[in-house]
Structure formats: structure tokens, C-alpha cells
């Protein structure tokens, strides 16, 4: 086994994120006493899910493979309901558990299925996308989408452990590697500017999972997230910083019928949030411009069609950070100085959008 990094996530239900290559053998040890373990996966990860099932069987645990639709199509109440039917038919009890093998969509779904079954059973995300490793699998936010918006139904339900096996990234398409880096760059802007220096020094290496810098970026981003969620699991304040760029990003995803990659929407949303902060007099122009430059160097989108604005504004009104009719945005008062912009008026919101809009 390659060298394993263990990153603790503190709080009321602490656990570790394991980062390394070929560490899937660690799964059975995370679920002592389980009789049955459901292994949720989408079609592209079937082989890995089967391999995990064999590991569980060898440890005396009965695996229940459940194939779900890929990507955002899996984050739907009908899919969750079908999973609960399978758990019921197999007689899952409170000592049994759920594993999600895949990108953030599958682990969000798996965590949600686990959070609701018998009001909460143990679960483990086996993150196989870069975005999943640095973000979705860490922190216990689980959920599904609805027609009205992204992740509008869900639960805070921390896993008992997270596996981030870097070997799985060898098969991840380049476009998804880059999309995951949007969340890494987010962590750079809100908390760890060294991330930005590393990405800017060699954007190509940043997207190469075999490069040493890729592992350093992954571990740095996980540490940023772990530190935040340890202090505020239920997002009563501090955790909102992780939502930097997400107010517009989620509106774009909803507008696209959840066919855009989350990381792509986040890239546009980050540039928008930086522009908003600059226009509000909160952020200096060089730091705001750095968002567009760094994300562009990674091949990520930084603009969105101008005529979508009315629908995007409507979607942003049901963002989870909104209070009553007051929109709230995570902005920067400087590098690594996240803060809230409370109740910006529609003129300011539209002016910032004009700067990210494409014809």
C-alpha cells in the first residue's frame, strides 16, 4: 500500500479521511459489526463496486450492490426511494450500513439514503472523483435535487470514515479532474492561498493525478474543509464560507436542468462572487481578477449567457443562505478573508452579472 495520509475531521462525530493509493482494503475495518452493506454505484464504477463487494464478503459481510443512474440523475427522490425499497427487501437493520462508490453525486445520494433509513445508519463514501475527494465526501452534507433547486432536500449526516483512493483518479476523464479543481481553487481563495500559488505555477500538473502537486492540492483542500466542518457541522455560520461561489453556481445548475458539471458552475460562480465583492467595494481588483485568470488557466468556464439573468436571479432567491427575501453571498474582503454580503440590491447583482455574461 502507498503511503496513507490520515486527515481527521473533528466535531461531535469525528472520523478520518484516508488519502492514498490502493487503500480500498480499509473499507471493512470502518464498519465493525455490520452484517450487510449496500454498495451504491453508477454504471461507470461497477467494476470497483464489485471489487469492494468482494472485499466485504471476504471479511464476512454480505454486500448488496445497488446500481443507480449516473451523475445528477441519481440525486432524485425516485432513486432514493428505490434504494430504500432494496434495503427493506434485504432486511437492513441499524447495524447495517451504506457505501457510496463514485463521484459527489453518488456519495451525496448514498449519504442521504443512509441518513433517512431507520433515521440514520452508518455510511462510508468511497470518493472516486477529485471533486468528491476534496469536497463532497467530507463534511456530512448529504442530499438530492428537486425541480426547484439544487440539494434542496437533504440531511447533515457525517460518515464513519472517508476513502480517497488516488488510484481511482487514473480513469477519471480530464474534464472531471479540472471540474474538481474549481472547488480546490475555492479553498485557495477562502483559506489557503498556497493552493493558488501551486495551481498557477503549473496548471497542467495540477490536473495530472500522478503529479506530486496534485496530491498536495487534494490534501490541502481536504484540510481546509475538515477544519471548517469540525467547527460548524450544521452550517450555523462559519461553514457558509464553503459555499463561496455557490449561490450563482446552483442557479446555473438548476437552469441547465442539472446537466452542467457542478465544478463548471462553481467556476462561473466564483468569478461572479469576486466581481460582486469588487463592485461592492469589498475586494481589490487584482484579487478579483485572479479568480478569472486562475480558473481560465485550468480550462474552466468563467462566463454564462446574458439572457439567462432573470431565471438565475429567481433561482438564487431559494438559495439556502437566503433569509426571508434577503439574498446573502459569501464574498472576500481580501485573500483568505471570507465574509458575507447581506441583501445586495438587484442593481448591484445585475451589474456584476453583466461582467461575467457572454452574449
Ligand X SMILES: O=C(O)C(=O)C[C@@H](O)[C@H](O)[C@H](O)COP(=O)(O)O
Subset of 261-290 contacting ligand NAD (CB under 6 A): 262-263
What minimum distance in Å lies between the beta carbon of 127 and ligand NAD?
Answer: 8
Pick the stretch among 65-73, 113-121, 215-223, 320-328 that binds ligand NAD (CB under 6 A): 65-73
291 tagged catalytic: no
Catalytic option among 21, 239, 278, 328: 239
Q: In DSSP terms, which residues pair with 305 in a beta bridge?
A: 358
Please state, as a whole number, how many other Cβ atoms lie within 10 Å of the Cβ of residue 35. Answer: 14
Look-up of cell digits 440531511: 155
DSSP conformation letters of 220-280 = HHHHHHHHHHHH-TT-SSGGGGGGTTHHHHHHHHHHTTT-S-HHHHHHHHHHHHHHHHHHT
Strand 36-41 versus strand 357-358 pairing type: unpaired
Element (DSSP H or E) covering residue 337: none
Of the candidates 41, 157, 261, 262, the residue annotated as catalytic is: 262
Helix (H, G, I), strand (E, B) or coil at 104: helix
Residue 53 or 74 having the CB closest to ligand X: 74
> 320 touches which of ligand X, ligand NAD, none (CB within 5 to 8 A by kind)?
ligand X
Per CB under 6 A, residues contacting ligand X are 135, 139, 141, 150-151, 183, 235, 239, 242-243, 246, 320
| For ligand X, the closer CB: 151 or 168 | 151
The DSSP symbol for 218 reads H
102 binds, among ligand NAD, ligand X, none (CB under 5 to 8 A by kind): ligand NAD
Cα distance between residue 17 and residue 10, in whole Å: 11
How many residues make contact with ligand NAD (CB under 6 A)? 29
Q: Look up 62 and say whether it is catalytic.
A: no
| Grid coordinates of 161 | 470514515
Look up 94 and say whether it is catalytic.
no
159: β partners: none
| CA–CA separation, 88 and 271 (whole Å) | 45
- Pick what 192 binds: ligand NAD, ligand X, none; C-beta below 5 to 8 Å, kind-dependent: none
Question: Binding partner of residue 239 among ligand NAD, ligand X, none, CB under 5 to 8 Å per kind?
Answer: ligand X
By C-beta, is 168 or 254 nearer to ligand X? 254
Task: Report the largest interatomic distance among the alpha carbons of the chain, rounded to a whole angstrom.
Answer: 62
**Closer residue to ligand X, CB minimum distance, 246 or 290:** 246
Catalytic residue (one of 225, 264, 290, 292): 225
Catalytic (active site) residue 250: yes
CA-based torsion, 169, 172, 178, 182: positive or negative: negative
Q: Are 323 and 335 in contact (CB under 8 A)?
A: no
76 catalytically annotated: no
The response to whether 183 counts as a known ligand-binding position is: yes
Cell matching residue 210 = 500522478
239 is an active site residue: yes
Q: Name the residue nearer to ligand NAD (CB basis): 72 or 96.
A: 72
> Is-contact 169 22, C-beta < 8 A?
no
List of E strands, 81-207: 97-102, 122-127, 141-146, 149-156, 162-165
Residue 159 as a binder of ligand NAD (CB under 6 A): the answer is no
Active site residues: 119, 141, 183, 225, 235, 239, 243, 246, 250, 262
Which residues are known binding-site members for NAD(+)? 70-75, 104-108, 128-129, 141, 150
Which residues are known binding-site members? 70-75, 104-108, 128-129, 141, 150, 183, 246, 262
Footprint on this chain of ligand NAD (rule: CB under 6 A): 42, 44, 70-72, 75, 102-106, 108, 128-129, 131-132, 135-136, 139, 141, 151, 168, 171-172, 176, 179-180, 262-263
Which residues are known binding-site members for Zn(2+)? 183, 246, 262
Amino acid at each position: 500500500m502507498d503511503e496513507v495520509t490520515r486527515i481527521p475531521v473533528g466535531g461531535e462525530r469525528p472520523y478520518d479521511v484516508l488519502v492514498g493509493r490502493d487503500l480500498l482494503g480499509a473499507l471493512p475495518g470502518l464498519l465493525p459489526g455490520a452484517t450487510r452493506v449496500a454498495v451504491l454505484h453508477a454504471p461507470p464504477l461497477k467494476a470497483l463496486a464489485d471489487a469492494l463487494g468482494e472485499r466485504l464478503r471476504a471479511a464476512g459481510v454480505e454486500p448488496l450492490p445497488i446500481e443507480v443512474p449516473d451523475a445528477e440523475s441519481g440525486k432524485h427522490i425516485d432513486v432514493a426511494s428505490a434504494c430504500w425499497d432494496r434495503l427493506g427487501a434485504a432486511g437492513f437493520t441499524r447495524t447495517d450500513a451504506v457505501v457510496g462508490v463514485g463521484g459527489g453525486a453518488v456519495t451525496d445520494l448514498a449519504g442521504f439514503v443512509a441518513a433517512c433509513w431507520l433515521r440514520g445508519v452508518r455510511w462510508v463514501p468511497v470518493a472516486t472523483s477529485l471533486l468528491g475527494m476534496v469536497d463532497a465526501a467530507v463534511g456530512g452534507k448529504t442530499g438530492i435535487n428537486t425541480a426547484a433547486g439544487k440539494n434542496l432536500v437533504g440531511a447533515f449526516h457525517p460518515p464513519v470514515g472517508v476513502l480517497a483512493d488516488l488510484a481511482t483518479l487514473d480513469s477519471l476523464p480530464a474534464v472531471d479532474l479540472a471540474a474538481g479543481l474549481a472547488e480546490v481553487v475555492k479553498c485557495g481563495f477562502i483559506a489557503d492561498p498556497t493552493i493558488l500559488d501551486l495551481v498557477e505555477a503549473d496548471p497542467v500538473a495540477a490536473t495530472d493525478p500522478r503529479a506530486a502537486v496534485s496530491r498536495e492540492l487534494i490534501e490541502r483542500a481536504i484540510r481546509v474543509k475538515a477544519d471548517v466542518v469540525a467547527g460548524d457541522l450544521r452550517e450555523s455560520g462559519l461553514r457558509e464560507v464553503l459555499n463561496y461561489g455557490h449561490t450563482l453556481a446552483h442557479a446555473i445548475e438548476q437552469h441547465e436542468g442539472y446537466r452542467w458539471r457542478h465544478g463548471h458552475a462553481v467556476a462561473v460562480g466564483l468569478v461572479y462572487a469576486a466581481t460582486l465583492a469588487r463592485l461592492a467595494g469589498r475586494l481589490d481588483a487584482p484579487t478579483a481578477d485572479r479568480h478569472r485568470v486562475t480558473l481560465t488557466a485550468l480550462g474552466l468556464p468563467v462566463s454564462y449567457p446574458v439572457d439567462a439573468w432573470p431565471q438565475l436571479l429567481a433561482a438564487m432567491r431559494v438559495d439556502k443562505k437566503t433569509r426571508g427575501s434577503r439574498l446573502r453571498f459569501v464574498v472576500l474582503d481580501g485573500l483568505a478573508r471570507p465574509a458575507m454580503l447581506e441583501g445586495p440590491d438587484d442593481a448591484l447583482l445585475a451589474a456584476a452579472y453583466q461582467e461575467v455574461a457572454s452574449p
